[in-house]
Structure 1
């Protein structure tokens, strides 16, 4: 089987087994396309002919061309996934990326809102249908830390407003149940009162009554941020970051925050411990007499 056909088989397997989002699947396709193009440029006809030194040279070439370290790490992750699949299928006898490492990533902490900023953002004024929908949408984002795809995919049957819970389908089609706070419940009840709250109907509707698209949600965030005069770049994932940071800051329970966010690996959640430490460091610098910088009052 030619490399291109093997890549197509892997992508079909990935779609069936892990059910990634179309965006994620496209990213895998692009990353594997880069591998195929590089193999063709180097006259490598099969994956068996790839050796770690050759792959390391390919990564170095992409690095020189200006590909960011995060993109190179994702590239290698996509290639590793392909090679693991081929090995499991008995189509590859060795690992072409064994020992190959991408450039070290510089940890970039996510931006978050403080409690006052978050409260101001979600307090959408107005009683018209659009304002009622937007208020419920923002309150639920901040209350439960949902991903954008999880929110746009919600149906009324996924919500238990009496119990204050929401059932979401996360990455890898994993189900989890997340608490919904009082303010979000009130906003969702107001949205339900607008009509069309059957169990199989989308909670958040866009045009023609269909489920709102991710792009529409992103645009609404920008419009609401401009209306409120926010100086920060406001986007849906910002409220997920803010939810996680505020939960960890108040509880100190990293494992609970991992479960609420639906992270498969706790290492993904640990980035919020750095945010929490930044907050503690600011409090320390402001309060401790020995911590003040020289010349400070």
Structure 2
């Protein structure tokens, strides 16, 4: 028991040091005449906190509704330009200074901004402009992208007004179906990897806002006819499909040849499409092997049984649209 006692003493010492309990007791002893005991009414405290939170959320909601309303109006009033060129559009490309093999590919076309450090954002920012992030695999000179940049430029004014109306606002962002992200205040983009893989259309907040909850069963043909490159493409497609799902969705993945079975044996019904479950699915999908012959009946029988079961059991369902993919 000697070692247990030593561990106990060491933990107590560390906690005393970190919590500052002794210093707090000493401070109270010295200043105790300045303190008084007051009986609080728990109901009043809860109501005050609830009111403060309600006011805070109301201000954020007002800013969001203003941004959404202006975005809808600007997009509606925008006139498509077929002959639009990159040199016709001025914007700060947040990835212009990222080093791709030593070449500043985008720096020549990007606005040059000055940044100041803001402790609230924990970043160097520019309050006069927005920044634009475009996914790496999208051509920035495409007419659809340039037109998107053209009309979303006017959102800069809305971002700035929102920030003035509510100084507690931090990052504001607009994500487009084309993949364009415009955010305020402007700041250089920092990708966690050498190659920037960020795509706003795959972010949970975008997916949840752009689509309704759904129940989905993904069927994967693993018969011998899909061996080799075809199977690799199927695995990649399933992974991409899983990335489009959010916490509001429910999903299961099944493989089939002569018979159908869940790729994750313990998932006997639809499960929530959260990060943990999607990771398990992706790992299981990568282990699939092609063999046997194809029996589509078994696959669809499995899928429809899954969807029928969730109709009878409302625990494992989004209670919304149902898909077989």
TM-score by length of 2: 0.20
Structure with greater proportional helix content: 1
TM-score by length of 1: 0.21
Structure with greater proportional strand content: 2
